[in-house]
Structure 1
């Protein structure tokens, strides 16, 4: 069986290696040091910045011929696996770097392109498994997180697999909370809520958990100062703030799947936690719902005027299509409407969309939570705008 895939593991290692870090082995402390002109090369060796053309290449890979290596890595390993292939290919073309090293990388890639489709798929899956194993080893367990707020640079800058714990039948999402954000000085105090409110709703966790993929990568709590990069001012002000060691952060979680399936009902998702008093303002334009406060509980006003008080968390789907632009802004509107789910709904003639849902806690002291499905490339753009251009 080994003869069918002789160099499988060696190619997996090849694609997981940052070949830019390979320098000619004659680099002890000798007098020739004109390399100092490029101090950035040794500044952060553990972080991989996305090269130019990344977004364009990802889009091209999504529509590439099925047997092309780009498409095979993307479809069989997901975005993170494809990125490793793209990075390796990019490094073979860089103008800087050691010539012999680049020539060797180019030769390896040429040899790889000549292998069978089945072999390249097996390598893509091997890269995916290796990355998944690495993500699992870097996952912050709930107990560790309770004891220590501070995290390593890798955990702050890399999307880490979500820690989901089962507690007496309830599923609770434990997001990794980076603390190296920029501070925001003009955060309205009313946007700050106590930690007693659950960071992410249990239903949000259940929704993510139902996706039939073996890895979910999440990033949480971006700097609140970056909210205007994506959201209209009215919504940016409505998103909950949380005080971190280095300043204000926003109650946002972005979830990415470890796999990319063209036929999946779920793709990347963004979750927004809002401040307490704006539930009514969102419910009416988005879902045509009238809400009222009754003895500290939220009640739905029925068309007859009667009040429905459930006393339980309510999940509302069937969002008005045109209201997405009005409430969430043009970027989110385009990202939602580019998803396969949204297009499928249109094809079926449905007049509302399930791509946007709203979770309404019964207690009026808790804000509503939005879950929005996003198209993959738009989601990556939002990730960069909110968290900076870190690789997965």
Structure 2
């Protein structure tokens, strides 16, 4: 037995979060079969099913919808679900209650936030605010949405590297759309300093938290973030296509001018008046009828966070990714793969991305052997580490199987 296998066992035995694995539906592992068990390292794309969700969804379908029917909007709390679930997410991203609404997709919420940011910047600084900056390496949809928002608001769109944002800001800048963690490389960007720079220039930062919410402390309130969006199906384990969230800082809520006003964000939604009057608070971020089935599945999934500190999750995330990089260095011949994820903790999210010339083929073979990560074009192997259910033995096995696969 290698030293790394022994260390993995000791680390798992000392892990304060190890018992959380029982809150998820995972492949069964017996002592004699541990070395052949599957390892799921794709929680940065789709989180594992929390064990409480199936029965909760069955209740929503059979009792709330099947028996109570329309009464469930009041009796089962359907109507207040977007704000109630937002308040459940809030402590995981460092926000006080009343600032997050859940609903729609990440793309839709990015559109709302970017257009609203431009409108708020112009309200304060005039029409000369005619430029939107966007992370040049962003997930494609964010780029598409930013381009459409620029056309809609008469702005020009300028892609820039996040590190270059402070030097790119000017009196023309209205909004800056940034990713907290780069989806391809796992690089963590400096949210506090970039937010401060953007706001000092009279613009508004919009942060995409898809790869950080539920993986590390964000500190939205503490760092004065104006607007943020994030998905819930990765580290928050809300299920495929679960609704995204929108954060609007409390002091900006009365100025948040959504480009998608809907009856659900009306001050009197059942007044059915032709004139739109926005509601107060974070509910301005709502649009149409909430997607109740997926919302309530997400609400159940969030119960796995009961009693869990996000700081402990971050500590384990860094320990797992450190250990994985150490195991890769020990098992994989030098030069066969290259980490594009920073080694510095301050610059690392909760994934490790390895550059490999034949990455697509390698990932297919890894998945066939039970180690599930994913491939990003053209040459990146991505491994996401979700501390709530990934252990150190999983991590060692994944690195060892990677080495064996590369040697085939």
TM (normalized to structure 2)?
0.24
Higher relative contact order (CA 8 A, sep 6+): 2
TM (normalized to structure 1)?
0.25
- Which is greater in Rg? 1
